Amino acid sequence: MTVEPVFIDRITRPFQVFLKHKLAGAGLLLLFTIIALIWANSGYKDSYHELLHTYATIGIGKFELSKTLSHWINDGLMGIFFFVVGLEIKREFLAGELANPKTAALPIFGALGGVLAPALIYFAINPSGEASLGWGIPMATDIAFALGILALFPVSISLKVFLTALAIVDDIGAILVVAIFYTDDIALQSLALGGCFLLVSIAANMAGARNPVLYFLIGFVVWVAFLKSGVHATLAAVLMAFTIPARTRIHGNQFAEQAEALLKRLRETGLPQGNALLSSEQHSIVHSMEQVTEKATAPLQELEHTLMPFVTFLIMPIFALANAGVVIAEDFGAVITNSIAVGIVAGLVIGKPLGIFVFAWLSVKLKVAELPEGVTFTQIGAVGMLAGVGFTMALFISTLAWADESIIETAKTGVLIGSLISAVIGSFLLYLTTRKS
């Protein structure tokens, strides 16, 4: 017997279907990017900038943390984003595509080329002066946009896995660059405090603690300590993610046996028809099933599953709204021909696909790696072009490279143009390689 959906379900179902669609995240990101661009170039542009520069303060006693909304988004909300990235990285190395060295070799080598080539091309165009500080910008890949575009084409699962693994390794490179090269003067006392609490989190993991509230409290202290130390707080988020437990309390076979036994007991009680209330005994059995399921789920996977929608549908759109509002100046021609913008565009459009393709090709020819089944070098080149959609990470690094707003605006313009060109060319190449399908 099918239970008739209640009124609220009928209203929310279309939204639930949309949110589960693989293009939803990229679509929402694009929408908020367009809103930011229109807002920043409209008659209400002053309100856009005033909002971002509004101060918000949190404090307890003598402790006080006061930042603009822009900083809260880039240091706070992006900390949650990088925490989820850290969870993904750990999962991939433990049980994903990066767990098998042979499978991991191709995306690792591809990502290495995709990090080095854009940086070298940018540096060749901007070898000295303040402009040279932006070399890390074209190294980044926006996984949401890249996978969203790839989902439009009938490509093999192997190619999607390759791009996902490539983007994750790329994220590792970007995180290291931020930590090492875009960090100001370091306050060692605060950094040591953050390190001590990371050790506390590791100890809690080893002791078998699984309560997410405990790790949230420890993580908050680590985040504040890193923020005060001068080391970018995103590194704290990634390191904290690495300390989250990745073990289950029961094995898969035990879970299957216990779940089957509980389900059998539940059926024997005589389940009510429709959506009638369960008896006390039935409710107790259902509660036991929830506990068994919790024991069979690692905290790492549970946190990733819980936070991913929050990151995809709230944090990333807010970040796009706060950072993609590039003012299109009257001297737009001068802006896009500025060496900073040219270096970023060249790094994303030429460096990314060239580096990924050449390093992937060399790794296969040298028999260090092998092409996945059903994947061609032409498709590797097309995916390499999609990796040039730097957007989120590239915009983020732009805000770290300089303090001068006019330079940041120029860099952001380069990021948007380079990402758009990469998306269009990458889509066209994928169309050519998949049109027979």
pLDDT surpassing 60 at residue 11: no
pLDDT for 214-253, tens place per residue? 999 999 999 999 888 877 777 888 899 999 999 888 887 8
Spacing of C-alpha 105 from chain mean position: 21
Phi and psi angles of residue 55, each rounded to the nearest 5 degrees, phi first: -85, 140
H-type alpha helices, 136-279: 143-150, 157-181, 188-206, 212-229, 233-242, 252-268
pLDDT recorded at residue 18? 46
Spacing of C-alpha 49 from chain mean position: 26
State how far the alpha carbon of 130 is from the alpha carbons of 123, 154, 331, 393, in Å. Answer: 12, 44, 21, 20
Mean pLDDT of 119-139: 92
The residues near 338 (Cβ < 8 Å, ≥ 6 apart) are: 410, 414
pLDDT recorded at residue 119? 94
Phi and psi angles of residue 199, each rounded to the nearest 5 degrees, phi first: -65, -35
User: CATH 1.20.1530.10 occupies which residues in the chain?
Assistant: 25-61+100-183+304-434
Mean pLDDT of 357-364: 94
pLDDT for 322-338, tens place per residue? 888 888 777 778 888 89
pLDDT recorded at residue 205? 94
Work out the pLDDT band at 14, boundaries 50, 70, 90. low
Q: How many residues does the chain have?
A: 437
pLDDT surpassing 60 at residue 190: yes
pLDDT recorded at residue 418? 94
Please give the Cα distance from 320 to 322 (Å, whole number).
5
pLDDT recorded at residue 16? 54
pLDDT for 270-296, tens place per residue? 777 666 677 788 788 888 888 888 888
- Architecture of the domain spanning 25-61+100-183+304-434: Up-down Bundle (1.20)
pLDDT recorded at residue 155? 78
Phi and psi angles of residue 64, each rounded to the nearest 5 degrees, phi first: -145, 135
Work out the pLDDT band at 316, boundaries 50, 70, 90. confident
pLDDT surpassing 90 at residue 75: no
Q: Which of 260-274, 279-293, 415-429 has the highest mean pLDDT?
A: 415-429
Identify the CA nearest to 140 among candidates 118, 158, 162. Answer: 118
- Say if residues 145 and 391 touch (Cβ distance below 8 Å): yes
pLDDT surpassing 60 at residue 180: yes
Please give the Cα distance from 80 to 61 (Å, whole number).
26
Amino acid in position 371: L
pLDDT recorded at residue 351? 95
pLDDT recorded at residue 285? 85
State how far the alpha carbon of 146 is from the alpha carbons of 25, 328, 392, in Å. Answer: 11, 25, 11
pLDDT for 200-213, tens place per residue? 999 999 999 999 99
pLDDT surpassing 60 at residue 2: no
Least confident range of 44-48, 179-183, 404-408, 427-431: 179-183
Work out the pLDDT band at 397, boundaries 50, 70, 90. confident
Whole-model pTM over 0.95: no
Mean pLDDT of 370-385: 87
